[in-house]
Structure 1
Amino acid sequence: MKIGQLLFYDKILSGNRNISCSTCHHPKHGGGDGLSLGIGEGGVGLGPKRSAGTGGNKILKRIPRNSSALWNLGHKSIKVVFHDGRLEISDIYENGFNSPAQEWLPKGINTIIAAQALFPLVAQFEMAGNPKENEIAGAVHDRIDAAWPILAKRVRIIPEYGEMFVKAFSNIDAPEQVTIVEIAKALGDFINFEWQSYDSPYDEFLINEVNLSDGAERGRRIFFGRGECSSCHSGPLFSDQNFYALSLPAFGPGRTRLFDPIVRDTGRMGESDKLEDAYRFKTPSLRNVTLTAPYGHNGAYPSLEGIVRHHLDPSGMRAEWVHDLANLPSVPWLESIDFVVESDKREVLRQKQKVDINNIYLNDDDVLDIILFLESLTGKTAELGRLGIPDNVPSGLAID
């Protein structure tokens, strides 16, 4: 776990050595970055104060989706991850996973939490950088798996890392044997340990029968009753791991594909190629949800009240939504496309019409009580962390 902690905060894993996993998944921001759409490779700073960079290093695109928090990703109930479910447990490629790497995902990765740690490393606008900028981005441009051996060598030739891997892994006798598999496992073990959370008031209610506050108890009854929230937010993590269309307001660059360059995000359909999956996104876990604003797959709502009310009346809330609700740091050279999707009337109509949830009437007091219940899902030690942020990392690079 110590190796994973250091790697999580070390920019050595990025193409230009200027961004780490922690930049977009930081404990100061509940495991996210506090932005609607993140500023990845090329940006400067942390969280809502992160800027888009300058000169030749400036960002070329906002991250298309909200940075997901990492809480309880190691839980045994999780079989699929990312907003669109592009990584899931499966043996379709005989390596244990159905992933963007397909048959090129290295064998030996044994958990989904370890597998998911690999993909931001090779994403152009997240950590890899642009082609011709560095050897990582260039390798990814050839094939997704070509960069991982280069990253592994970067890590293992640092003496401190090499020695740590030899001590920690029984299959590693010398630093030169370290591969991306061991790096993925180290990152996965750290994320699983650091971001566990199961000491909320609600857990006390379940385990020790400690009463919730009056408001939270009323909210609990609504959540599991007439509010119908638990029809999707079910199980120990408050997620059924399925995908639904909520008709959230659309903005940003979209998650385009080579054969579908329109500025839009079709969600699960982009991975399943099933028309019925259009605009569907994975049900997020509600553990520590008070710490993980903004909300929605694109961070459309800055408050819990906003996203709760959207669930009650998707069409009405979408009609009232305004641009200022999106937390998008100023990027003058990208602002012309931030809301360009709205000019595509047919696309907007398709998104508006695809809604998988029914309108439900709750009064203002009911909404407040639901929020009080959601607050009871916040772990008492969630903001303290376990291993925390290291003072320095073996590469010698700065820590955000």
Structure 2
Amino acid sequence: QFEMAGNFGENEIIGLVSKVGKDSRRIDRAWPVIENKIRGISEYHQKFMDAYDHIKDPSDIKIIHIANAISAFIIKEWTSFDSPFDDFINGKTNALTSTQKRGMDLFYGKAQCSSCHSGILFTDQKFYALAIPQFGPGRTRRMDPYTRDVGRMGESDNVEDMYKFKTPSLRNVSLTFPYGHNGAYPTLKGIVKHHLNPLQMYKNWEPSMANLPEAKWLEKIDFVVFADKREQKRLLSRIDINPVSIDENEINELVSFLHSLTGKSKNERPLGKPISVPSGIKVD
């Protein structure tokens, strides 16, 4: 299935983009449907004409305009470059505590975090298999025998991509718990320790750590994949990172540094959550 498109049979979008055959998984099949949905909402007409000088009529609204509008909102609302770390690299030497500075040295040195979490966004935008414990409905493909999440392979159909997930940005990482693609670790320290030794942390992981919301209809299947020994063996055979040995105090220093990536304006979003949207969809 496509990210955010839903499961098979849930809506017309997933039906369009996930057709079977040599021409399968064409996301552009959904574009006309999305365009028509937006064109059919009168309040959006004026908003798009105000935003784009060349849009004079609802029929001028194309998928590129919709995508650019969403992108502009995301950039405006969630870009955060005012963290203590940013202050530090801009010359304010006292912006980080001594503990955070030691953690920074570990991040860029001994702990090898920056080999993947690099650049201004702290991500190389690549995919890696880390053996995060599997549970929940995942992004199951139609041919899978039960719910599981094969990661990037779900899109590429390349077995080399099995269980690989994209390196996330670490900006505001202290706010984005739980951690792992499926929320396997409730704490930042937990996911850091998993990165340092994926195999050992997998063996120590327990379902109670998932801290799942109550959903009676999912309880029977949530941990079917985690209990499957063959699936565990496949998952653990594809770890892309090597163990790194640092002591408990150094782990705490590393976590402290990660907290320094939290923007000072984290609770002061420029636009904020709207009371309502033109489509009439309920704002949660």
The answer on 1:173 being equivalent to 2:53 is no
d(CA) in 1 for partners of 2:89 and 2:258? 15
Q: Which amino acid aligns with 1:207?
A: N
Kindly report the root-mean-square deviation, in angstroms, between the aligned alpha carbons of the 2 structures.
2.4
Q: Which amino acid aligns with 2:174?
A: T
SS at match of 2:255: helix
TM-score by length of 2: 0.87
The answer on 1:243 being equivalent to 2:123 is no
Which of 90, 94, 118 aligns to 1:234? It is 118
Q: 2:138 aligns to what?
A: 254
C-alpha offsets along residues 313-337 of structure 1, whole Å, 9 cap, x if unaligned?
2122111111111132122122111
Q: 1:209 aligns to what?
A: 92
Off by >4 Å, runs of 4+ in structure 1: 135-147
C-alpha offsets along residues 229-287 of structure 1, whole Å, 9 cap, x if unaligned?
11211111111222221111111123222344443222223333333332221111111
SS at match of 2:221: helix
Which of 195, 218, 225 aligns to 1:311? It is 195
Q: 1:113 aligns to what?
A: none
C-alpha offsets along residues 279-298 of structure 1, whole Å, 9 cap, x if unaligned?
22111111110011111111
The answer to whether the 8 Å contact 2:177/2:183 transfers is yes
Which of 148, 160, 167 aligns to 2:43? It is 160
Q: 2:22 aligns to what?
A: none
TM-score by length of 1: 0.64
Q: Percent identity?
A: 51
SS at match of 1:357: coil
Q: Which amino acid aligns with 1:130?
A: E
d(CA) in 1 for partners of 2:27 and 2:160? 28
The answer for unaligned runs of 5 or more in structure 2 is 20-25
Q: 1:200 aligns to what?
A: 83
Distance 1:153 1:220, change over 3 A: same
The answer on 1:290 being equivalent to 2:166 is no
d(CA) in 1 for partners of 2:59 and 2:9? 26
The answer on 1:328 being equivalent to 2:216 is no
C-alpha offsets along residues 80-134 of structure 1, whole Å, 9 cap, x if unaligned?
xxxxxxxxxxxxxxxxxxxx6xxxxxxxxxxxxxxxxxx63xx124xx9725xxx
d(CA) in 2 for partners of 1:214 and 1:199? 19
d(CA) in 2 for partners of 1:179 and 1:351? 41
Cα drift, residue 146 of structure 1:
4.9
Distance 1:180 1:285, change over 3 A: same
Q: Which amino acid aligns with 1:385?
A: R
The answer for unaligned runs of 5 or more in structure 1 is 1-63, 65-99, 101-118
The answer to whether the 8 Å contact 2:134/2:225 transfers is yes
Cα drift, residue 353 of structure 1:
2.3
Q: Which amino acid aligns with 1:206?
A: I
The answer to whether the 8 Å contact 2:136/2:218 transfers is no
The answer to whether the 8 Å contact 2:55/2:61 transfers is yes
Q: 1:149 aligns to what?
A: 32
Q: What is the number of equivalent residue pairs in this alignment?
A: 277
Which of 338, 341, 358 aligns to 2:225? It is 341
Q: 1:50 aligns to what?
A: none
Deviates more, 1:302-311 or 1:235-244: 235-244
Cα drift, residue 396 of structure 1:
4.3
C-alpha offsets along residues 348-370 of structure 1, whole Å, 9 cap, x if unaligned?
11112222222222222111111
